[in-house]
Structure 1
Amino acid sequence: MKILHFLLFLSVAGFPQTAWEVINPLPQEKTINAVQIIKDSLVYAAGENGAFLHSNDYGITWQRKPQGVEKTFLSIYFADEMTGWLGAGGGEMYRTTDGGYNFNVVQTFPGRDIIKIKLNGNSGYACSREGELYRTNDGFSTYTVRVITNTEVISDILIRENGKGVAAGEDGGIYTTANEGETWVKSAYTAQGPLYGVTKIDNNRTAVYGFNGYLAVSSDEGVNWIAQNVGNSNLSSVEVTAGGEIVAANVTGEIYISRDAGITWEVSLSGDDVSYRGMAVSGNFIFAAGEYGVMSASTNNGTDWSYRSTGSRVRLNRIRFIDPDYGFIIGDKGLLLVTSDGGNTWEKKNTGTTKELFDFHLFKNGQGAFGIWLVGANGTHLQSSDTGKTFKNGAMAAVVGQNLRTVFMGDNLSRIAGDAGTSYESLGRWGSAGWRKAGNYGSNINFYDFWPTTPSIGFLVGSQGTIIRYFYYFRAVAQENISWEVPYELRSVFFIDQKFGWIVGE
C-alpha cells in the first residue's frame, strides 16, 4: 500500500516575520457587493471577507477602514458620514458611529443573510434572503418580524415613502405590500426566471430585473408588468440618475444606459468579463463595483467612464520567478504578465489568444532570451523564442482538443498533459523531437501538474488520486502507477530534492 504524507512545517523562529501586500488589483482584491454614495464625492463600499473601504474623491483614492470584521457584507446603509449599518451573511447586523473605524453587532438574525437595510432616521427596515422583513423604530436595537414568503428566496425589496412596496424572488415571484410590509401578496405575474433586484424608476414606476437581461416595469404598484431585455446577461443592479437616465449593470462587465425612460438602451461601458455586484448614483455621479474589487465610475451621467481600480481583472492561474527580479504570470483570456523589477511593475504581453492559460515553462534559448511554452484550454499550445514578444502555435495545437494543464521542457524529456487522460512526451531537447502519446489513461482522469526530481525521474499527478512516476534511461521511458487509494483531486506536486516533496489537492 502506498501512503502519501501531506506535510506542513511552520517555524516562527526560523523565518523572518513579514507582511503580505496586495499589489494587484488595487485598491483591494475582494469582491464588493454593496456601495453607497453619501454625497457626490464620498463613497462607501463593502463586500466579501470583511471588505469595507471609503473614498472622499469620487473613488479615485481609497482608504481601508480597520473595522476588524471578517464577515461577508451583503448590504450597506449610511445615514450620514459617521453613522451606518452593514448586513452580513449569517445574520449579523453591524453599526458604526465613527465612519466605519469601529463596528459593533447591533442585532443578530441567526441563519439569515441580510440583503437590504433602509432607514429614515432610526425608523426603517431590513430584509433577509430567507423572506423575512425586520422593521424597527430605534435603529435595530429592537425590531418586529413580518414574513414576505416562506417558499422562495428573496433577492431584493423596495418600500416607498407611501408604504407601498415590491419584493423580488429568485424563482421569479413578485410580492407586493400596501401597508409598509405588514402583509404581502404574491402577484399573479411571475417572471420566467430568477429576479435579482428591485428599483424605483420614478414616483409612479417600479422595476424588477434579473436573468438574461430581463427587466420589467410596473406603473400600477405591481399589478401589471411590461417586460423587456437589456442585453443578454443577468442584471445585477439598476439605478436612476438625477437626470432620469436608467443605468443597468450586469454580471459580464457591461453597463447599459437608457436616456428615454427605458424605451431604448445603449452600451455605456463594456470590456471586462467581471461581474458587477453593486451600483449607486448621486447627481451626475455613477459608481459601480463588483468581482475581484473592480470599480468603475462616471461623473457625467454615463457618457464617459474611468476605472477606479487598477490591475488585471481576470483570474491568474500560475506564477513563476526565475530570479529575484524576473517573473511571469499567466491567466484566463490569454493573459501573460512579465516583471523585471521584482513584481513592482508588470508588462502585459500579447499571446494572440483569448483562451485560458493553465501552465508555462521557461528555458534559456542560448540567444540572450527566454523560450516560453504556454498550454491552456481546448488544446492551446503556444511557443515563444523571444521572451514573449511573439508567439506561434506549438506542436500540440493541431493534435489535442482537450484542456492542456501542465507542461515541462527538459534536456532529455519533455511532457504535456491535461484533461481526459491526455499525456504526450518528446525525447528531444526542449521538445524538439516528435511528440508521442505517453500511456493509456481513462478519459475520466485529468492531469494537473508534473515535476521532475532528477533529469531521469518525474511525477505526474491528477484527479482520483492519480500519481504516475516516470523513468527515463538511455532514451527509453518507463512509468509506474503509484496512485493514492483515496480519490482526491491532486493539483500540484513539488520536490526540493530527489526524496523530499509535497503533493497538494482538494
Structure 2
Amino acid sequence: MLRKICPILLALSLAAFLGCGGEEETKPGGGEEPIPTEKYDTLYDVFFVSELEGWAVGENSAIIHTTDGGKTWESQSENVKWLSEGENKYVLYCVQFTDEKTGWIVGEKGVLLRTTDGGATWEQIDTGVQDVVLRSITIQHNPSATPPDAAWIVGTGGTILFSNDGGQTWIKQDSPVNKDLYSVTSIGYYQGGWKVWAAGQDGVIIFTGDGLTWQEQKSGIPTTLLSIFFANVSPTEKEFRGWAVGVNGVVRATTDFGKTWKPQDADAIGQHLRDVFFMEKTPIGWIVGDGGLVRYTRDAGKTWRMRASGVFKTLYAVHFVNTSEGWAVGKDGVVIHTTDSGTHWEVLRGSPF
C-alpha cells in the first residue's frame, strides 16, 4: 500500500542513509587531524519506487534523488517552481510517489510540491494554509471508487486537507480534534469507502470510513504518536492491521480497524519512535527512532527484535521496496541501506556519529 503518513518532529529508528566518517591525513608537522566530514541537511522522509530509484526530503528545502540505490545522490531543490520569490527555504517533512514520475512533498508553511517528470521539475501548489505545518500525505487510486482518485494531507492544529481531482485543488475537511497531526495512512477504497487514519499529539488517532467525515478513536494513551501505518498482513486474505508509534517507546496496534488499540513491546522505553513501516501482504515490519534505533518484526508486532543500524543519530523515516531491501534516513542527512531485512546496514551518506 502507499503510505503515508509522513512524521513531524520525529524520526523513526532505522538505518538507511549515511555517509563515510572522517578519515585522517598526516600533517607536515607529523601530527594527524581528521578531514572534515561534509555536512548535510537533516532528512525527515524517504521513498523508493524501485531497488534503484528514490527520493529523500528534509531541512532547507532539501530534495535529493538517487538512481543507483542510494550510493550517489543529486539535489532536485533547484528544480522547484515556487509561488513566490525569495529564499524559499522550508522544512520538508514527507515525500510520496505513485509511480516513477509522479510525486508529492509536503512541509512547513503549507508547502505542497508536485512533480510529473520524476523531479526534473517540481511545482508548488497553493494549499491556502500558509500558517500550517503540513506533516504527512497519502495518495490513493482505485478505478472502482467514485471519484477514483483521493488524497489527504494532515498537519498542525488538526488540519486535514482533501483532494479528489488528482491533487489539483485542496479543501479543508472538518477535524474532530485541534491537536497537531503528524502522520496519515490509508488502506485505500474498501467496503464501499476510503479508509484513512491519522495520528498525532497527546495520543490522538482519528479515522474516516468514507473519506469525508472523521471521528476520533481511542488510543488508550496520552502519549504523542509520531507515525501510523496500516497494511494487509496476509498474502491471500484481507487481514488489515494497524500500528502507531511515538514518544517514549510507545507502540499501539489494532486488528479491528482501530476500534480498539492495544500495546506492543518494542523494548524502547525512553526513546522516541519516529516511523513505522510494513511490507504489504506480509507480517514483516520495521520501526526506526532515536539514536539509530531499529526494530524488526516477522509476526505483525507480536515480537519486535533489535537490529543494529550502525549509526547513533536519530532516524526519522524508513522505507522498503520488498521484504529484504530498504533505506532509513535521519539527522545530518544520514542514509543507511539494507539488503537482508535490516540484519545488517550500510551507511551510504553522512556520518554515523
> Do these two structures clear the TM 0.5 threshold for a shared fold by scoring above it?
yes
Q: Which amino acid aligns with 1:93?
A: I
Quote the residue 1:384 is aligned against. none
- Structure in which a larger fraction of residues adopt strand: 1
Residue 238 (structure 2) pairs with residue 232 (structure 1): no
Q: CA–CA distance in 2 between the matches of 1:205 and 1:228?
A: 17
Deviations 1:324-347 (A, max 9, x none): xxxxxxxxxxxxxxxxxxxxxxxx
Task: Provide closer, same or farther for how the CA distance between residues 97 and 249 of structure 1 changes in structure 2, counting only shifts above 3 A.
Answer: same
For residue 187 of structure 1, the aligned residue among 154, 158, 173 is 173
Which secondary structure state, in structure 2, belongs to the residue aligned with residue 239 of structure 1? strand
Task: Provide closer, same or farther for how the CA distance between residues 310 and 70 of structure 1 changes in structure 2, counting only shifts above 3 A.
Answer: closer
For residue 200 of structure 2, the aligned residue among 202, 210, 231 is 210
Q: CA–CA distance in 1 between the matches of 2:39 and 2:76?
A: 14
Q: Which amino acid aligns with 1:111?
A: K
Quote the residue 2:258 is aligned against. 262
Residue 120 (structure 2) pairs with residue 141 (structure 1): yes
Q: CA–CA distance in 1 between the matches of 2:16 and 2:39?
A: 14
Deviations 1:335-360 (A, max 9, x none): xxxxxxxxxxxxxxxxxxxxxxxxxx
Q: CA–CA distance in 1 between the matches of 2:180 and 2:277?
A: 22
Residue 151 (structure 2) pairs with residue 165 (structure 1): yes
- Mark the runs of 5 or more structure 2 residues left unpaired by the alignment: 1-8, 21-36, 81-87, 142-147, 234-239, 313-353
Per the TM alignment, residue 298 of structure 1 is displaced from its structure 2 partner at its CA by 0.6
Native 8 Å contact 1:72 1:88 kept in 2: yes
Q: CA–CA distance in 1 between the matches of 2:59 and 2:220?
A: 29
Quote the residue 2:319 is aligned against. none
Quote the residue 1:155 is aligned against. 135
Native 8 Å contact 1:215 1:228 kept in 2: yes
Per the TM alignment, residue 173 of structure 1 is displaced from its structure 2 partner at its CA by 1.7
Quote the residue 2:61 is aligned against. 91
Native 8 Å contact 1:241 1:247 kept in 2: no
Quote the residue 1:178 is aligned against. 164
**Higher relative contact order at CA 8 Å, sep ≥6: structure 1 or structure 2?**
2
Task: Provide closer, same or farther for how the CA distance between residues 51 and 256 of structure 1 changes in structure 2, counting only shifts above 3 A.
Answer: farther
Quote the residue 1:114 is aligned against. 92
Q: CA–CA distance in 2 between the matches of 1:51 and 1:252?
A: 28
Which secondary structure state, in structure 1, belongs to the residue aligned with residue 90 of structure 2? coil
Larger Rg: 1
Q: Which amino acid aligns with 1:241?
A: A
Q: CA–CA distance in 1 between the matches of 2:58 and 2:276?
A: 18
Q: Which amino acid aligns with 1:301?
A: A
Deviations 1:28-84 (A, max 9, x none): xxx98368xxxxxxx8634xxx679xxxxxxxxxxxxxx966220011111111111
Per the TM alignment, residue 297 of structure 1 is displaced from its structure 2 partner at its CA by 1.0
Which secondary structure state, in structure 1, belongs to the residue aligned with residue 291 of structure 2? helix
Q: CA–CA distance in 1 between the matches of 2:133 and 2:10?
A: 21
Task: Provide closer, same or farther for how the CA distance between residues 69 and 96 of structure 1 changes in structure 2, counting only shifts above 3 A.
Answer: farther
Per the TM alignment, residue 281 of structure 1 is displaced from its structure 2 partner at its CA by 0.5
Percent of paired sites with the same residue: 21
* TM-score (ref. length: structure 1): 0.48
Per the TM alignment, residue 309 of structure 1 is displaced from its structure 2 partner at its CA by 3.0
Which secondary structure state, in structure 2, belongs to the residue aligned with residue 289 of structure 1? strand
Q: Mean alpha-carbon deviation: is it higher for 233-242 or for 158-167? A: 158-167
Q: Which amino acid aligns with 2:254?
A: S
Task: Provide closer, same or farther for how the CA distance between residues 142 and 310 of structure 1 changes in structure 2, counting only shifts above 3 A.
Answer: closer
Residue 271 (structure 2) pairs with residue 274 (structure 1): yes
Residue 106 (structure 2) pairs with residue 127 (structure 1): yes
Native 8 Å contact 2:218 2:260 kept in 1: no
- Mark the runs of 5 or more structure 1 residues left unpaired by the alignment: 1-30, 36-42, 53-66, 314-506
Q: CA–CA distance in 2 between the matches of 1:264 and 1:301?
A: 16
Q: CA–CA distance in 2 between the matches of 1:183 and 1:265?
A: 34
